[in-house]
Each structure stands twice: as structure tokens, then as C-alpha cells.
Amino acid sequence: MTPNPTPVAGAPALSVRDLRKTYDTGVEALKGVSLDVAPGDFFALLGPNGAGKSTLIGIVSSLVNKTAGEVSVFGVDLHAHRDAAMRLIGLVPQEINFNFFEKPLDILVNYAGFYGIPRSEALPRAEEELKRALLWDKSRTMARTLSGGMKRRLMIARAMMTRPRLLILDEPTAGVDIEIRRGMWQTLKEINAAGTTIILTTHYLEEAESLCRNLAIIDRGAIVEQGPMKSLLAKLDVEGFLFDIDGTLPAALPDIPGAEMRAVDDHTLDLDMPRAMDLNRVFAAFEAAGIRVRSMRTKSNRLEELFVRMIAQGQDAQGSQAA
């Protein structure tokens, strides 16, 4: 790749090639990660604790030194043109790190000043960002007194002060209740719709599902799954039903290709099937087998469970590669 100090038209917002990180302690946090994030994308980086998400983000935002590999931001090589690449990025780190004894307005204006944005320009921007974050009425109160959710929103507002082309958020909604989380999702959707590429790490599959178009799942320093959210969900998307049966079940249950069925007791059937599958097929098979359904209900959402299963499969694959 030719090092370039200015953004290259058509280049990925983020390109990571064979990125490796071994900490001084000997921990291999990244074992050769490659991924591309398209301009304008809303991209999720999912993975369990210790997977390497923050390490990856730390390297991309120049807080952590890589051991090997290449990173470029809109075609700007991070190694060759660190400052130019950094100007394109806004970072919302995992830990809240503003001064609790400053006021939100000052936090934003001072942050902009650090990036060379004059006060006259920073003030109207700060007002705009604080209003978007629903914090304008708190702009002159001590940051320490903000609630946890407000602090998280202030972190996003601060990152937006430099008008980044790529906004990276490391678990922005950790520990935030569902209502505030939804509000933050709305803010992030607006920022993305206005043209900013967003990369978000999260433990919550539900969050990734409602926000992101593409995702990578990282586990133990390696990518175990990558692609459009829709196709991953199609893989994960199994729906479970419980059927209450009139009379007793036949000895041999009907075979429905793609679905898994078992009798819970004499008059209850448990069925798992792909969400894309037509329930009529199930009813046709029941009809043919003389099974009469009295009632049915959906089982609880199993996405989280399936996510865990996918991680486990990735570990098996890694294990067998290593063997």
C-alpha cells in the first residue's frame, strides 16, 4: 500500500491486515486479524470478555502499539501518517475518562482546542452536540453530577467535536439501562445517517442487530465470523415453539427437514426451526401424522445462546487448527 497523507476516494474507512499484538506479559491479544469496514457502514465488533476488541480499537486509535500488521483509515496508513489518520477518527473509549470536575461545555470546547479548533468555532459545535445528546440543560453543571447514561452520552458528544469521518465506540452502552440505551442507539443512527462511519464493540447481540449492517465476531484474538448482519442472523436465527397437542402423540414423530422436534411429554411438542421456514410446513406434517394442535407459543429468545454456541464452534475450529 502506498502511504498517503490524505483520504483516498473509495478506500475502506478502516482496513486492518494481519494485525498482531502480543503484550509484554506474553498475552497474545490479537493473532492476525484482518477486516475491512466500508465508508458509511455501521459495523459491529462482537466478542466475549478478553476477546481482543479493545486491543484492536486501541491500535486503530494509536493508544496501543501493534506488534505486526497494517492499519489504514480511509486509505491513510496509520503507521506512516499517524496524525493525518488520527484526525479522521473519533474515539469513545470503554472507560469514562473526562474530568468529573469540569462542566460538559468546557469538556467539549477544551477537547476541540486540543485538536486545534478555535473557541469561536468550538462553542457553536458544542451547543449542537450537547443538544443532540440531550445534555444542553446540563452544559454548565459539574460533570460529576451527571447520571451514568448522561456521562456516556457526553463521551459521544465529545468525540463528535472533531467531526470525525470514522467514529469508534468501545462498549458505549455498558451498564446503561435499556431506555437510555435505546436513546443512544437513536443518536448513533442519526450520526451514521449524516455520513459518519461507525464501528461499535458490544457484548449485546441485540444492540448489534438493531444498529449494524455488518459485523465481525472476535474471540481469543481471532475473527471467527465476519459478514453482513443479515446473513449471520439467518444462520443464527432459529425460532423455538411449544405445541400443546390434543390427545396423545403418535409413537413416531413426523420428520420435518431443517427442523428439530422432540416430545416434552405425551401432549407437548418442542420444535426448533429456522425463522425463514414456513410454519405451514410444520402444520402440514402434523396434519399428515394425525397430530392436532390445541395451542402453541414461542419459546424465549435464544439469540444469545446461539451466539455463545458460535463462539464455542470458533474455539473448536481454532483448537483443531492448532492441533
Ligand X SMILES: Nc1ncnc2c1ncn2[C@@H]1O[C@H](COP(=O)(O)OP(=O)(O)OP(=O)(O)O)[C@@H](O)[C@H]1O
Judged by CB under 6 A, the chain residues 63 through 102 that form the site for ligand X are 94
Judged by CB under 6 A, the chain residues 25 through 54 that form the site for ligand X are 25, 27, 29, 47, 49-54
- CB crowding 13-41: b at 16 or more within 10 Å, else e: bbbbeebbbeeeeeeebbbebebbbebeb
Nearest to 180 by CA among 207, 160, 203, 201: 207
Q: Judged by CB under 6 A, which stretch of 23-31, 109-117, 283-291, 300-308 contacts ligand X?
A: 23-31
Q: How far is the CB of 27 from ligand X (least distance, A)?
A: 4
Q: Which is nearer to ligand X, 59 or 112 (CB)?
A: 59
For the window 88-127, what string marks contact with Mg ion as x by the rule CB under 5 A? Answer: ------x---------------------------------
The yes or no reply on residue 202 touching ligand X (CB under 6 A) is: no
Q: Which is nearer to ligand X, 54 or 173 (CB)?
A: 54
Long-range Cβ contacts of 92-96 (<8 Å, 24+ apart): 92/155, 92/156, 92/158, 92/159, 92/167, 92/168, 92/169, 92/170, 92/172, 93/57, 93/63, 93/155, 93/170, 94/54, 94/170, 94/171, 94/174, 94/201, 96/151, 96/152, 96/155
* Binding partner of residue 162 among Mg ion, ligand X, none, CB cut-off 5 to 8 Å per kind: none
Q: Which is nearer to Mg ion, 54 or 196 (CB)?
A: 54
For the window 293-322, what string marks contact with Mg ion as x by the rule CB under 5 A? Answer: ------------------------------
Residues that bind ligand X (CB under 6 A): 23, 25, 27, 29, 47, 49-55, 94
